[in-house]
Amino acid sequence: MAKQWTKELDDALTTMHGAGMTAKEIGSIMDRTAGAVGQRAFHLGITKKRSDSLPIDIPTYFDDETEVPVDFMWRGEPTEWNAPKTKQKPLWWTAMMWWRK
């Protein structure tokens, strides 16, 4: 079974990672593999390999009357121009994919 990470080891890992040490150096000090150190740093959220926000800004739309964020923009009633196109599957498809009705 793998060694358990304690609060003290997590604090030491955070300090060493913040000082700019590599995972290989930290692993040799803590007697762990570089992969284990990298995985724990990723789990703690101290690496730059992930972000809590999206890389792009998603526009937020507000309703003019209620000033509440709207998840989608109203495009009006469906017409022949903006209605979703649905196409019926051919007969051979429904016979072959009988479980996907």
- 41: its two tokens: 């740093």
pLDDT of residue 52: 55
- 12: its two tokens: 């030491």
Residue type, 4: Q
Instruction: Decide if 52 contacts 35 (C-beta within 8 A).
Output: no
More confident residue, 25 or 98: 25
H runs (alpha helix) in the chain? 7-18, 23-30, 34-44, 91-96
pLDDT of residue 45: 86
**Distant-in-sequence, close-in-space partners of 46: CB < 8 Å, separation ≥ 6:** 13, 14, 17, 18
List, for residues 48-79, the tens digit of each pLDDT value.
765 555 556 665 666 666 665 655 555 566 66
* Separation CA 67–CA 73 (nearest Å): 14
SS3 label, residue 61: strand
List, for residues 3-59, the tens digit of each pLDDT value.
899 999 999 999 999 898 999 999 999 999 999 999 999 889 888 765 555 556 665
